[in-house]
Structure 1
Amino acid sequence: MLKKCFHLKNAAFNQLSLKGANFYGYSLQHVYLATCDPDDVHFKQMSLKGVNISTCTFDQLHIDMESLNGCSVSAEQAIGFAKLIGLTVKK
């Protein structure tokens, strides 16, 4: 069983660069990343439930689809995630 080595709850970060960070197995709850840069971040095998990334800009995230359950994203991000699971999005 994976032991979580870091737990962050009820926090907000503004204009923070997270580029290339690795959150593998971490626990984040009710975290708001306001206009942060999580490009190339690893969010695998962790829950983003209650985490808001809707104002973040990124080209690539390393993430499991299960990790996105309960995460707040923008409409544009939702379309990108839908494409990752094989949906064809039409306007």
Structure 2
Amino acid sequence: MATVNEVCRLVRSKNAGPYWVTVDFFFKDAESYARYARSPALGGDTFARLFGADPALVKYFPVDSLHVLKVSYPRTSPQGGEVERDMHCGQQYVRLLDIELD
């Protein structure tokens, strides 16, 4: 099975305000995007397991013309809180790179 790291030319994460995080998956080509952007492996259960997000609140924004999938999920605690370890969420994507896609 292919991993996220193998089918995407870039994966990045960033804060989307004080209560949300967004992950952008830039697929290498139209074929990879068509095959993997809707993979169950990128579903809410994965974001729940890796980031503690409520799977029902995970949002998906496919950008077909750019072969990009944006996924947003709520933070478990607000940005800048006492337990914050990555205030801008720039390192959150790393946990997703080895996810095997169907």
TM-score by length of 1: 0.23
Where relative contact order (Cα < 8 A, 6+ residues apart) is larger, the structure is 2
Higher normalized strand content (fraction of residues): 2
